[in-house]
Chains A and B, each alone.
Chain A
Amino acid sequence: MVGTSDAEFEAFVAAHGPGLLAFARALTANRSDAEDLMQSALTSAYARWPSIRVDEALAYVRRSIANGRVSLWRRRSSREVLGFEMDVVSYEHHDEDTVERLALRAALLRLPRGQRVVLVLRYLLDQSDAQIAEILGISLAGVRSQAHRGLKTLREQVESPGRQDKDEPTPVRRLS
């Protein structure tokens, strides 16, 4: 590896790492999974670093995080596939505001992958719909459709916390 490339990579991580890790945190149920996901995405980026333009790297890593989520989960239990195994949080000593925030994050984790990724890019990283379409390589209409469906489900979850999204993944029944 050329020293300049290493320096560029380190500068990239220093500049964008916190945002990327927050992105991974929002998509996963706990810090450990987020860090695994982050490392996996950075590994892919580093392996291709000489051929990735610096200005393309951010979108590349965001896309890797968005797509890499599932492979991480595949190695885990079905409980985590559903996103239920969050960092242990006690609701007892929190105010109503905090409880609402945590409930919304839990609801976010129950959304289908595409909807969740779009909402996190939009409301955590403040990406425009056009930017999200470019990052994920999908159409603008696709972004808006995913966002609309995700928000609708979240709203229903907030209004009726007991109800789960009908698209929520169902654990596969293994017969033997």
Chain B
Amino acid sequence: MTGDPQAQTEVLLRRALAPLLQETQEVPNTIVQGAVRQGRRRRRFRRAGIALVPLAAAVAVAVTVVSIRFSATSPDGPPTDTPRTKGWQTVAESPLSPRGNPTLVQVGEDVVVLGGSETDPCPPTAFCALDPDDLADGAVYDPDRDVWRSITPAPIRLTNISTASSGNSVYVLTHPLSGSGPKQQLWEYSLTEDRWTQMPAPPQPMDSLVSAGTDHLVAYVTAHTKTWTADQSYDIASRTWRSVPRDPLAPSEDRNLIATESGDLVVIAVDRHTQRGKPTWSPWRTAQWNAVTKTWKEVPTPDIVDSGPTWMWVAGRVVNPTTQTIDLGKRLVGTGGIFDPADETWQPVPSAPVGPEGVLPNLDSAGSGRVFVNDQILDVRSGTWTQAPRPPTRFPTQDAAAIIVNDRLIVFGGATFEGSRGTLTNDTWVLPLLATTASPP
């Protein structure tokens, strides 16, 4: 090719595409009729959803929410009354393509959706390789106004990431899949400026990222598998990392690090396993970092053992909502609990009602004083459980992401299946969470 190669490519492209306009003089009637037919069905569905809301609200007000007393240990008796919430609603169409496993982050009252994968969803019974083509784009959803806006795509694939938000920014910590790939990176996305900026990465590879106070992030490792590695605190203003002093539980595994709004840290973890291959039930242990005195101390922890689920920060408490109990032969022990770092006290998780099992995919999330787990909503302050309504048939059965923001459970993306054939969705579902009226126990 001679001359300006880009201009020549542009000319060639125009010539290559122009015949398409000449070929399509009108839209076949079958397409328009099909769109009208399906569009009418979709409208009826939407109207039905809207009409149900006032009815559900009236019913919910009429229902007396039962306050469930905290019992000492086991959830052996389901409560007799199971309050229900308003139904699931679809909301404005997102500008994003259908995808699975996106990441949702709350920034202020908005929800930032990042990345995900467009790869065919993996059937529940199959084992699929990791997707090499994860997405780099994203969008912001304003639940109050039911409005979406796209954001500038990230300069990196948003795959295998850990996120935290502070101020009006989202921080993304990448996790390289292999030693030969790029090293771990930290990126800041500013909602105000719609801009991605690379920040200094932690000095050692870290597993997870949380925001601490209003001006710091903390990156931490989830297990001291071979040796102790210092967690890292990041000063957002100066863009510098500092090692967090060793906590009294180290070395430990299944580490959960929770940062409070005041910058205090709570680590809940189990001792490093010494007998590999032998199933054991390790007791949870707790340590607390005081941001003012800059000291760690171990806090007495009830007799609860690690069954896997993670701990979440909600309503000023650290919550593991699982109600499973383990028979250790001589005694029954719980697996979850609620820790209040303000007064260093523990409460057991209230007994949960027995609801339909396996109705929803894994949408565990926390926010607005509530925890959503296994189709149930726990109001942490009142100690009441509420059964989530059964979702409609179009609801994703896997690979969706969920977040609770401003009294709404918001679910985006995921896949539905017919047999082993999955279809990705870019639908957004919202479940308004009714305020429970129970008094604290």
Interface of A is mostly: helix
The 8 A CB mask of B1-31 against A (1 = contact, 0 = none) is 1000110111011111111110111111001
Contacts of A44 in B (CB 8 A): 39, 42, 93
Closest to B1 in A: A159
Contact at B32–A13, with CB atoms within 8 Å? yes
Contact at B32–A113, with CB atoms within 8 Å? no
Q: Does A169 contact B (CB under 8 A)?
A: yes
A contact residues, total (Cβ < 8 Å): 67
Contact at B98–A74, with CB atoms within 8 Å? yes
| A115 shortest CB reach to chain B, Å | 11
A75 to B418, CA, bound (A): 11
Contacts of B96 in A (CB 8 A): 67
Closest to B133 in A: A169
Q: Does B177 contact A (CB under 8 A)?
A: no
Contact at B425–A138, with CB atoms within 8 Å? no
A138 to B6, CA, bound (A): 23
Contact at A19–B5, with CB atoms within 8 Å? no
Asked whether A38 and B39 contact (CB < 8 A) given A70-B424, A124-B20, A136-B95, the answer is no
The 8 A CB mask of B22-64 against A (1 = contact, 0 = none) is 0111111001101110111011001000000000000000000
Contact at B34–A119, with CB atoms within 8 Å? no
| A116 shortest CB reach to chain B, Å | 11
Contacts of B261 in A (CB 8 A): none
Closest to A142 in B: B152
Name the contact of B35 in the complex, choosing from A43, A102, A105 (C-beta under 8 A).
Answer: A43
Q: Taking each of A1, A13, A35, A123, which has the highest tally of chain B beta carbons within 10 Å of its own beta carbon?
A: A123
Contact at A25–B24, with CB atoms within 8 Å? yes
| B8 shortest CB reach to chain A, Å | 8
Name the contact of A21 in the complex, choosing from B27, B97, B122, B152 (C-beta under 8 A).
Answer: B27
Contact at A46–B36, with CB atoms within 8 Å? yes
Q: Does B207 contact A (CB under 8 A)?
A: no
Asked whether A151 and B26 contact (CB < 8 A) given A35-B31, A46-B40, A141-B152, the answer is no
Contact at A46–B23, with CB atoms within 8 Å? no
Asked whether A38 and B127 contact (CB < 8 A) given A22-B23, A71-B97, the answer is no
Chain B: number of interface residues, binned into ranges: 35 or more
| A54 shortest CB reach to chain B, Å | 16
Q: Which of B105-155 contact A (CB under 8 A)?
A: 118-122, 126-129, 131-133, 137, 139, 148-153
A49 to B127, CA, bound (A): 42
Closest to B148 in A: A137
Q: Which of B239-262 contact A (CB under 8 A)?
A: none
A17 to B23, CA, bound (A): 12
Closest to B129 in A: A173
The 8 A CB mask of A44-57 against B (1 = contact, 0 = none) is 11111100000000
Asked whether A155 and B9 contact (CB < 8 A) given A43-B39, A46-B36, the answer is yes
Q: Does B166 contact A (CB under 8 A)?
A: no
A84 to B124, CA, bound (A): 29
The 8 A CB mask of A128-140 against B (1 = contact, 0 = none) is 0000000011110
| B271 shortest CB reach to chain A, Å | 35
Q: Does B426 contact A (CB under 8 A)?
A: yes
Contact at A71–B31, with CB atoms within 8 Å? no
Contact at B423–A75, with CB atoms within 8 Å? yes
Q: Does A164 contact B (CB under 8 A)?
A: no
The 8 A CB mask of A10-38 against B (1 = contact, 0 = none) is 10011001111110011000000001001
A137 to B150, CA, bound (A): 5
Contacts of A137 in B (CB 8 A): 95, 139, 148-150
Asked whether A67 and B128 contact (CB < 8 A) given A124-B17, A138-B150, the answer is no
Contact at B12–A158, with CB atoms within 8 Å? yes
A104 to B122, CA, bound (A): 33
| A49 shortest CB reach to chain B, Å | 7
Contacts of B40 in A (CB 8 A): 1, 46-47
Name the contact of A39 in the complex, choosing from B23, B34, B149 (C-beta under 8 A).
Answer: B34
Q: Does A69 contact B (CB under 8 A)?
A: yes
| B12 shortest CB reach to chain A, Å | 6
Q: Does B194 contact A (CB under 8 A)?
A: yes
Contact at B9–A151, with CB atoms within 8 Å? yes
Contact at B16–A172, with CB atoms within 8 Å? no
| A123 shortest CB reach to chain B, Å | 5
Contact at A70–B39, with CB atoms within 8 Å? no
Contact at A22–B423, with CB atoms within 8 Å? no
Name the contact of B17 in the complex, choosing from A14, A26, A47, A48 (C-beta under 8 A).
Answer: A26
Contacts of B118 in A (CB 8 A): 70, 74
A63 to B424, CA, bound (A): 18
A21 to B12, CA, bound (A): 21
Contact at B120–A74, with CB atoms within 8 Å? yes
Contact at A136–B150, with CB atoms within 8 Å? yes
A71 to B99, CA, bound (A): 8
Contacts of A141 in B (CB 8 A): 152
A164 to B280, CA, bound (A): 52
Contact at A46–B133, with CB atoms within 8 Å? no
A122 to B118, CA, bound (A): 25
**Supplied contacts A35-B28, A104-B16, 10 more A-B pairs, CB within 8 Å:** A25-B20, A35-B31, A42-B32, A43-B38, A47-B39, A47-B42, A47-B46, A102-B16, A155-B1, A172-B128
> Which 5 pairs across A and B sit closest by C-beta, in order of nearness?
A46-B39, A137-B150, A42-B35, A17-B27, A47-B42
Interface positions of A (Cβ within 8 A of B): 1, 6, 9-10, 13-14, 17-22, 25-26, 35, 38-39, 42-49, 63-64, 67-71, 74-75, 78, 97, 100-102, 104-105, 108, 113-114, 119-120, 123-124, 136-139, 141-142, 151-152, 154-155, 158-159, 169-170, 172-176
